[in-house]
Amino acid sequence: MGETVPVTTLDGRRVYTRADLMDAYGLGRSTLEKWFRERERNGHPEPAGTVGSQLTWDADAWDRWYAARGSAVPAGLVTRDELAARHGLTRHHLKRLWAERTANGHPDVAHQVGKALYWDEAEWTAWYSAHQERPPEEDAEDLVTLAEAARILGLAQTSVTVYPKRPPAGWPEPARVEQLGGGRLRRFYRRSDILTYAARK
């Protein structure tokens, strides 16, 4: 396990609640519930008991089951972290490439376990090599909204809404501002300025 799991105990032994597993592994509740429902097929451990109203599972048994499940990932598939390490890229840059997949042709996910995404390494490497050789985008001076800038940066829209009033270091000035109803403003930024900001992060 790569995470520190909150310690829940039952009769002196370490157990996990679903909340523990969600925190430690980044798994969604619906995924955990689905695995439990399908335990006759997938070998998911049986509950160890309850703590309050929450079901629990023996921690060691669950860890072994989950590790075995992860080892079933087909050969040749890699995570974003593995791509970052092998190609000398940051997670932020990889997230941005993935966010722009409709425009740049980024390969689709080949496999998923919980929230962990896997890509075919050979397919991704061939795509990235071709992507690097492409000339600069002709639309680099296109104007984008704040929401589109967030997508380019791989950020949640809510996280950039404060940027116009409290800009982080290097955040560009808008190229155009439109007055909307109710005193609201719509800001447009040059795509090239957003890409420059992303490269400096």
Q: What is the mean pLDDT of each run of 10 residues along the chain (201 residues)?
A: 59 88 80 88 89 90 82 74 85 85 84 78 89 58 83 84 89 87 84 83 64
* pLDDT for the residue 70: 62
Q: Please check whether residues 60 and 85 belong to one and the same domain.
A: no
Q: Please check whether residues 66 and 81 belong to one and the same domain.
A: no
Q: Distance between CA 190 and CA 192 in Å, rounded?
A: 5
Q: Distance between CA 191 and CA 197 in Å, rounded?
A: 10
Q: Please check whether residues 16 and 66 belong to one and the same domain.
A: yes
Domain count, the chain: 3
* pLDDT for the residue 46: 94
Q: Please check whether residues 112 and 81 belong to one and the same domain.
A: yes
Tokens 């590790």: give the residue.
67
Question: Which tokens sit at 66?
Answer: 């989950």
* pLDDT for the residue 2: 43
* pLDDT for the residue 182: 78
Q: Please check whether residues 127 and 152 belong to one and the same domain.
A: no
Q: Please check whether residues 100 and 127 belong to one and the same domain.
A: yes
Q: What stretch of H or E contains 113? A: strand 111-113
Q: Which of 160, 141, 140 shows the shortest CA–CA distance to 150? A: 160
pTM: 0.39
- What single-letter amino acid sits at 123? E
What domain range includes position 190? 143-200
Q: Distance between CA 201 and CA 191 in Å, rounded?
A: 16
Continuous H helices in 105-185: 121-133, 146-153, 157-160
Tell me whether residue 1 is in a domain. no
